Amino acid sequence: MISWRPSNSLILCWVALMVLLALTVTLAYQPLGALNFVVALAIATAKTALVMVIFMELGSRPGLVRAFAGAGFFWLMILLWLGLVDFVTRS
Amino acid sequence: MKNYLTEDYTLRSWFFTTDHKRIAILYFASLIFLFFIGGAAATLIRIELATPQADLVSSDTYNRLFTMHGIIMVWFFLIPSVPNTLGNFIVPLMIGARDLAFPRLNLASWYLFMLGAAITLLAIFMGGVDTGWTLYTPFSTLYSNSYVAVAAAGIFIAGFSSILTGLNFIVTIHKLRAPGLTWYRLPLFIWSLYATSIILVLATPVLAITLVLLAAERIFGIGVFDPRIGGDPLLFQHLFWFYSHPAVYIMILPGMGVVNELITCYSRKKIFGYKFVAWASLAIAAAGFLVWGHHMFVSGQSLTASLVFSFMSFVVAVPSAIKVFNWTATLHKGTLRFDAPMLYALGFIGLFTMGGLTGLFLACLAFDVYATDTYFVVAHFHYIMVGGMVTAYFGGLHYWWPKITGRMYSEYWARAAAILIFLGFNLTFFPQFILGAEGMPRRYHVYPPEFQVWNVLSSGGATILAAAYLLPLFYLGYSIFFGAKAPANPWGATGLEWQTPSPPPKFNFDRQPVVDSPPYDYEHAPEPQNV
Amino acid sequence: MWREWIPFWHAGISPYGGDVDLLFWGLVIVSGLVLGLLFFLLLYFCIRYRAGNNVDRRNHDEKSWRLEVGWTTASMLAFLGLFIWGAVVFLKIYQTPGDELTVFVVAQQWMWKVQHVGGQAEINALHVPINRPIKLVMASQDVIHSFFIPALRLKHDVVPGRYQDIQLQISRPGHYHLFCAEYCGTDHSRMLGEVVAMESADYAKWLAEQGPSNSLAHEGESLFRTLGCSGCHENSTAVHAPSLAGLYGKPVPLSDGSTVIADEKYIRDSILLPRSQIAAGYQPIMPSFQGRVSEAQLLQLVAYIKSLAGQHP
Amino acid sequence: MSEPGDIAAHLSSPKQRDEVLELGMWTFLSTEVLLFGGLIMTYMVYRHADPVSFAEAGRQTRIVIGTANTAVLLTSSFCVAAAIQAGQAGAARAVKALLAAAIILGTIFLGLKGVEYAGEYRDHLVPGIDFMQSGPHTQGVRLFFIFYFLATGLHAVHLLCGIVVLIIFLRCYRQIVCHPRYLAGLRTAGLYWHFIDVVWIFLYALIYLPGRSG
């Protein structure tokens, strides 16, 4: 029987995710106006970054893998950016 | 000695093969069949349009014909054409690999493709689809009395076949290259298929989800795009064209890739500006995602969006122009031979350039207001897709035919077919530019009589084109059984695929090849052989 | 006869028609030059450097950078020029229409229904006076159609669920094609109309000849009563609803603090989606008339409310 | 620990095999980003058109279940990541326990999701099947719930696939510690599992949080 326990970074990551979750719920109930949406998305992005860097081990992977991981999100930004240009600028 | 064809003769060995070369053959057989179904629809359309009145078919049938022509040709012929047949066969050979990175995924992609095709054909035989291949809402969701959801399911499934192919190519090109084969030593065909794969992987899922939304709205009536209950029909167009415009580049980039190989081989010279051509492919793939709104200049999208998309459309034309200039410059001081593949390649350059230049007309906002949804658009994209892609496909098919089948075809008939296709094509589609410039709208079953002259010319050209497309079926078919045996490298071409016997053995190379020279090194290539 | 086969033989008859034609010929010339150069080079190289022809082929590896940068820059500049040219004319075509003579167009499978302010209605025909800017307010009853008059070099989609305004001006009397350019189903290719441009006097005569009919606003007024709108929106009533007199063209403060101009689109939305934009100080109690009025009836109501613009609330 | 039988005939080394698997999965995930991306675009467009209705609709979702589910899924991701570490360290029983935990958490998520769907059905919030709302924001609320059901449904299908994959790995947990091929497979499956988590993180922010402060 090999004695084993998860690394500190994993445990810390999990704790951080839980804290961020609590934070995002709390902030959602604060009347910040349009900022509510921005805050919610910012925290979601932070959580995603944690999951990708630590759980998905991107922190220790070569640049090529990181580029592949980023590509989908980059193209999603293109879709949202150019797609919304029309809807935002309609008179 | 056994090769991939003679390895095993059972049906099982074909339908459960994971050999990329056999899967390419499976794709090839399926695509010929689908090409002729789509072509049959086109033939009926051209016959009907020879007169202004309705005389051959009813309007409902006519609408189903052009829809079927579009759906089959776009999703079940052009998109898989070069990537899944020539690409599947040649990519591992070209990079010195034993197979694609995921051989079983490759086979799965063929089965998905066949399932998608079967469902789409089912929709057609159940009674057809009458929405046009663009499936615009709210017509497709609320008003069409045809089998839209079934066809959407077929396209959806075929889309996943595309995604798997793209994924396979990307990983293969990154990880399975032979020792010494650096990125800048890759043949440009590989670069262009890599760019194509990026689009396949990143654009197709958006089509998939759009079709899900379309089917959900049609089946449950939930109103995602229904303007009566708050939906926006233009949102559908945005999502659809986010896929379908890059899909145009899926349909042309592989063709450009083929032409690089042909031009260099028959000029006996390395390509002019290798790095520019290579990066132009990636530039087209990336910038191709930024221009989709040019399909919507008159749709009611905001003027600001139209300006942005028009500007980006001009930008994406630059890398295409770079390619044309470089191909032409490659001919300079070459030693040109005019074998059939070269004739196709030269035809491609001319026709693609005409398609590209008329694309500038359509990117130009004020003229697009006039020309969009007219025959000008029809002519433009046929110059790109048929004049460009299909011509390149035929060129590549002839070029690699000895490698694939191990047989030589009749050079005489091949040249005749190439010239006939070029003439028939121009006669069919050039008059359509004029029809468009005169203002004849597309998807018209009957039309005002003043448009007849050009329509008759176009239909006449279509007859020649149809006959010319049938020709290769005969002489290529003949060569499989009676053609002379092909040597390993009949054209004296560079590239690893020519360093293994024709047809290649099961795992492509008897020995792992190692590369230590730049691409298209024709100064040190063997002389072409006369077989 | 043979002239009909040559595109753009007839000059455009709209204010920007000549600009579009010029742009077209500009594009033709530019691409003609490029294509000519390309074909010349292809042909020249093919003949001169054909295998077996003994010519000087030395130094074919010359540096390519200068050429590459050269033609990339050249095409970029040319494209930029064409973009700007096209955009300038485009903005002219789709300028915001003035509010002078308004004609309403309803597209539906498979016909164009036209309503004039005076109540004259026509199908698959559009009579207009020449040399006068006309504001077309277009709506679709069902699917997307596209209003296309080749002679005017003008086209715009008509998308269901909203109004589309465009401006139209014709400089020469005559009969012109009106096509539906966006595929709309079975009889898409039969959804044709005729635009008849007339001298002002002829137009006035034509309007007068169109039988005795009530003006659009008048039709709208009776609809206003039969649908029960008047029950709440007239001053005398007990229900607290905004008065519509003098409303058109004025800014309306909304309950969420913003303001909108009461144009055709706003009136249309208020009838169909009354609760999406609530006028400040009123309760959201108005029922939606979605599905209860056709696009043509909507236009009558809009015309009626517009006709109240001059009154005092 | 390189054993030739572990590599497919067309590959040359275990390193190549692992890299191919990893890159293939990341490519697949970028496809998935855009699959959900189309839905997110729909959400953004309609939210932009009618923010008030979307806030109203957001308030009608069950934030307690949603938040609990987020915690459940994040924890399951932690389990999978830990299982991979355990596999590397050779701790077979830890692998088994952690994978089982992840599977159970995934199942809990789906169960809670079912409870949520049932509640929404009772509240007549299911467009296309039973949607009855009154009040000024019916249309926007309907559009919101179309997005809600399509996005969470698609997510649930992905999760179901993930659970099946993890069950397969659970059944051969012993091989994971001794055959690098299995460990590479689990790593790849882990990427997929974490990605499902990432999608949920965003869906959570888009679905449950709007309108809470107003």
Query: What residues contact residue C211 under an 8 Å CB cut-off, 6+ apart?
Result: none
Q: B20-235 has which CATH code?
A: 1.20.210.10
Predicted pLDDT of residue D4: 47
Helices and strands, number each (H, E), in chain B: 17, 0
Query: Given an 8 Å threshold on Cβ–Cβ distance, is C87 in contact with B365?
Result: yes
Give the residue among B157, B13, B145 at the shortest CA–CA distance from B80.
Answer: B157
Contacts of C277 in chain B (CB under 8 A): none
- Of chain C, the percentage scoring pLDDT greater than 90 comes to 43
The SS3 of residue C164 is: strand
Whether residues B358 and C45 touch (CB distance < 8 A) is answered with no
Residue whose structure tokens are 């294509």: C35
* Domain boundaries of chain C, sorted by first residue: 2-93, 101-209, 216-307
Query: Is D3 contained in some domain?
Result: no
Flag whether D6 is in a domain: no
Residue B426 has what pLDDT? 96
- Give Cα separations from C150 to B54, C176, C229 (angstroms): 23, 8, 41
Residue D35 C-alpha, separation from nearest chain C C-alpha, in angstroms: 27
C-chain residues within 8 Å CB-CB of D143?
A: none
CA distance B145 to chain D (A): 20
**CA torsion through residues B46, B51, B53, B57, sign:** negative
Q: Which of residues 245-264 of C touch D (CB under 8 A)?
A: 256
Specify the CATH architecture of the domain B251-498: Up-down Bundle (1.20)
- Who contacts C226 (Cβ-Cβ below 8 Å, separation ≥6)? none
Torsion angle of C-alpha atoms D207, D210, D213, D214, degrees rounded to 10:
-120
Which of the residues B204, B240, B241, B242 would you substitute to probe the A interface, choosing the one with the greatest number of A C-beta atoms within 10 Å? B242
Tokens of D59: 């308030």
Number of domains into which chain D is organized: 1
Other beta carbons less than 10 A from residue C207's beta carbon: 16
Closest CA to B398 of B277, B505, B266: B266
Helix D51-60 and helix D138-171, axial crossing angle in degrees, nearest 10: 50
Of D194, D211, D67, D109, the C-alpha closest to A21 is: D67
pLDDT at C244: 82
The percent helix, strand, coil of chain A (3-state, each to 5) is: 80, 0, 20
CB-based contact (8 Å) between D49 and chain B?
yes
Answer yes or no: are the C-beta atoms of B525 and B446 closer than 8 Å.
Answer: no
Q: Which of residues 11-70 of A touch D (CB under 8 A)?
A: 11, 13-14, 17-18, 21, 24-25, 28-32, 36-37, 40-41, 43-44, 47-48, 51-52, 54-56, 61, 64-65, 68-69
Q: Would the CB atoms of C273 and D139 count as touching at under 8 Å?
A: yes
In tens, the pLDDT along A36-86 reads 999 999 999 999 999 999 999 999 999 999 999 999 999 999 999 999 999
**Cα–Cα distance measured from residue B418 to residue B455, given in angstroms and rounded to the nearest whole number:** 24
Element (H, E) at C197: strand C193-198
Q: Please answer whether residues C6 and C28 qualify as being in contact, where contact means their C-beta atoms are separated by less than 8 angstroms.
A: no
Instruction: Report the CATH number at residue D129.
Output: 1.20.120.80
Q: Where are the domains of chain B?
A: 20-235, 251-498
Tell me how far the alpha carbon of residue D62 is from its chain's centroid: 18
* Alpha carbon of residue C189 to chain centroid: 20
Cβ-based neighbours of B65, under 8 Å, separated by 6 or more: B41, B44, B45, B48, B57
B419 touches chain D (CB under 8 A): no
What are the distances in angstroms from CA C118 to CA B402, C101, C227?
Answer: 76, 11, 22
d(CA B423, CA B465): 8
Write the DSSP symbol of residue C168: E
Residues of chain C with pLDDT under 70: 1-12, 59-63, 212, 235-238, 312-313
Q: Which of residues 135-164 of D touch A (CB under 8 A)?
A: none
Class of domain C216-307: mainly alpha
- CA within 13 Å, CB half, B365: 29
Residue A58: closest C-alpha in chain D: D191
Longest C-alpha distance within chain C, in Å? 102
pLDDT beneath 50, residues of chain D: 1-4
B364 to C82: CB separation less than 8 angstroms, yes or no: yes
- D27/B203 touch (CB, cutoff 8 Å), yes or no: no
Which residues of chain B have a pLDDT value below 50? Answer: none
The answer as to CATH 2.60.40.420 being correct for domain C101-209 is yes
In a domain, D214, yes or no: no
Q: What is the pLDDT of residue C56?
A: 84
The residue among B466, B474, B467 whose CA lies nearest residue B412 is B474
Residue of B nearest to A76 (CA): B202
Judge whether A72 is closer than 8 Å to chain B, CB to CB.
yes
Distance CA D154, CA B390 (A): 37
Contacts of B341 (CB under 8 A, 6+ apart): B262, B265, B266, B395, B396, B398, B399
Residue C9 pLDDT: 61
- From the list B7, B69, B114, B122, the residue with the least C-alpha distance to B386 is B69
Q: Which residues contact C232 (CB under 8 A, 6 or more apart)?
A: C239, C241, C286
Tally the residues of chain A: 91
Is the dihedral angle over the CA atoms B302, B306, B307, B309 positive or is it negative? positive
Tell me which residue range forms the domain holding D37. Answer: 14-207
pLDDT of res. D5: 55
Q: How far apart are CA C201 and CA D24, in angstroms?
A: 74
Instruction: Report yes or no: B223 and B213 within 8 Å, Cβ to Cβ.
Output: no
**Spatial CB neighbours of B53, under 8 Å, sequence gap ≥ 6:** B446
Residues of chain B with C-beta less than 8 angstroms from the C-beta of A90: 301-302
Contact D34 A37 (CB under 8 A): no
Classify residue B273 as left (phi > 0), alpha (psi -120 to 50) or beta: left
Q: What is the dihedral of CA B93, B99, B101, B106, to 10 degrees?
A: 110
B216 touches chain A (CB under 8 A): no
Burial of A3 (0-12, 13-18, 19+ CB in 10 A): exposed
The whole-angstrom separation of Cα C230 and Cα B133 is 47
Q: At what angle do helices C264-272 and C295-307 cross, to 10 degrees?
A: 120
End-to-end, the C-alpha distance of chain A in Å comes to 70
Q: State the smallest CA–CA distance between residue B93 and chain C in angstroms.
A: 28
For chain D, the maximum distance between any two Cα atoms, rounded to a whole number of angstroms, is 68
Q: Is the Cβ of D7 closer than 8 Å to some Cβ of chain B?
A: no
What the block records as the tokens of C79 is: 């494209």
- Quick count: other Cβ atoms within 10 Å of Cβ B125? 9
The CA-based angle B274-B277-B282, given to 5 degrees, is: 125
Tokens of C291: 């599905």
Instruction: Report yes or no: C23 and B364 within 8 Å, Cβ to Cβ.
Output: yes
Q: Evaluate whether ipTM surpasses 0.85.
A: yes
Distance from the B234 Cα atom to the nearest Cα atom in chain A, whole angstroms: 9
Establish, for the pair of chains B and C, how many residue pairs have beta carbons separated by less than 8 Å.
Answer: 255
